[in-house]
Amino acid sequence: MKTEISIEFFPPQTPEGIEKLRSTRKALAKLNPSFFSVTYGAGGSTRERTFNVVKEIAAEGFAAAPHLSCIGSTRNNISEILGDYQAAGIRRIVALRGDLPSGMAETGEFRYANELVEFIRAETGDWFSIEVAAYPEWHPQARSPHDDLQAFARKVKAGANSAITQYFFNADAYFHFVDAAHALGVHVPIIPGIMPIAGFTKLARFSDACGADIPRWMRKKFESYGDDSEAIRAFGLDVITALCEKLIAGGAPGLHFYSMNQSPLTTEICRRLG
């Protein structure tokens, strides 16, 4: 049985970035993803750019899933965005709490993602299929694993259809999280987020900030390659392919690739997975 995949992009800031994303999309479209998602900046800072990329994806005949974060937003402003997406025929949305832009103290009219999910359902009924975030290694701001799991359950009970996880490198963390969600009566598909590894320094910094654990054996191996980008790329491909194989064998309902607007690594991993 073919594993469903989906792929995430971020909205580029420059005309060159926009052109590059078009060619990346063309390459990744060959993998026949079930949808392309597009991120949304803190406090809605990329609203227009996100919308433009989403419209282009839809015009190319693919399902597009814009991210929508609610921190720093008002009900009116979210309602307006939902209306724009409905008018554009978009049927899927990734609903997130998001981060406050630096220097901003007010959270706005929404505090948590479950409030956003409830609002989307109240405003638009069943128009959107709603994805929410899940954290197999727990959200860095969660007080405890138990609290984090309860927060996840609230998002699903508010009306989410499925979830996409933060990336991780330990398959057991994912399987444990899914089991714990099932034990709470949460049975929506939980799709593992996959981060192809292009370089180590940036990945280590990013992982430390978002709470994704890089196992010691992986960290040591990457560090041992120094500046050898070819060796880092080859090892990264092996590690991520093996992770995906384990997830698929364990019954993961799909794979969601964080492409970083690049096509070669995602394409190669999918080729290896057949």
Amino acid residing at 102: S
Q: What's the pLDDT at 38? A: 97
**pLDDT tier, 164 (very low <50, low <70, confident <90, very high otherwise):** very high
Q: Which helix (H) or strand (E) holds 113?
A: helix 113-124
Tell me the three state secondary structure of residue 18: helix
- Residue 21 CB contacts under 8 Å (≥ 6 apart), including other chains: 9, 12, 53, 261
The mean pLDDT value for 159-171 works out to: 98
SS3 state of residue 108: strand
pLDDT above 70 for 103: no
Domains and CATH numbers, the chain: 5-273 (3.20.20.220)
Average pLDDT over residues 18-43: 94
Q: Is residue 178 over pLDDT 70?
A: yes
Per-chain mean pLDDT for the chain: 94
- Whether residue 158 is predicted with pLDDT greater than 80 in this model: the reply is yes
Confidence of residue 105 (pLDDT cuts 50, 70, 90): low
Q: Annotated catalytic, 8?
A: yes
Q: How confident is the model at residue 132 (pLDDT cuts 50, 70, 90)?
A: very high
* pLDDT over 90 (residue 107): no
Q: Report the alpha-carbon distance of residue 88 to residue 223 in Å, rounded.
A: 47
Give the tens place of pLDDT for each residue, 111-127: 899 999 999 999 999 99
Q: Which of 8, 118, 131, 137 is catalytic?
A: 8
Q: Which residues contact 41 (CB under 8 A, 6 or more apart)?
A: 11, 47, 50, 101
**What confidence score (pLDDT) does residue 45 get?**
75
Name the band, by pLDDT with cuts 50, 70 and 90, for residue 101.
Answer: low
CA neighbours closer than 13 Å in the CB half-sphere of residue 11: 24
Q: 46 or 223, which is more confident?
A: 223
pLDDT in tens, 62-94: 999 999 998 888 999 999 999 999 999 999 999
pLDDT in tens, 185-209: 999 999 999 999 999 999 999 999 8
- Poorest-pLDDT segment among 44-58, 90-104, 147-161: 90-104
Q: What are phi and psi of 239, to 5 degrees?
A: -65, -45
